[in-house]
């Protein structure tokens, strides 16, 4: 039996679009996640052993300024890694 002319005989694999995120992008996203983890680890600590005693160490430069800058930088790096186009 003949195939009618209006039936498309091409396979679906011929029509698949290119993959939206490449292998290199995933590597960069992994680096961004590591940067985020480092930033969050820098925020930890500074608590007092006695809940009735205030420890001013929670307001150190590392926890208030440096760590949030690193976290925001990590998120920006991940956004860049997702949007990055691979080289031809």
Ordered by start, the domain boundaries in the chain are 20-83
pTM, 2 dp = 0.73
**Do 32 and 78 contact (CB within 8 A), yes or no?**
yes
pLDDT in tens, 2-32: 656 665 555 555 566 677 888 899 999 999 9
Residue 73 reports pLDDT greater than 60: yes
Is 84 buried (19+), middle (13-18) or exposed (0-12) by CB count in 10 A? middle
By mean pLDDT, which of 18-22, 64-68, 81-85 is the weakest?
Answer: 18-22
pLDDT (average), residues 32-56: 92
pLDDT in the model for residue 77: 98
pLDDT in the model for residue 42: 96
């Amino acid at each position: 039996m003949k195939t009618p002319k209006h039936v498309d005989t091409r396979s679906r694999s011929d029509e698949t679009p290119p993959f939206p995120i490449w292998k290199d992008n995933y590597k960069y996203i992994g680096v961004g996640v590591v940067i985020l983890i480092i930033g969050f680890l820098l925020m930890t600590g500074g608590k007092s052993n006695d809940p009735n005693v205030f420890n001013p160490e929670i307001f150190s430069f590392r926890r208030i300024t440096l760590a949030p800058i690193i976290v925001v930088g990590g998120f920006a790096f991940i956004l860049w890694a997702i949007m990055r186009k691979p080289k031809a």
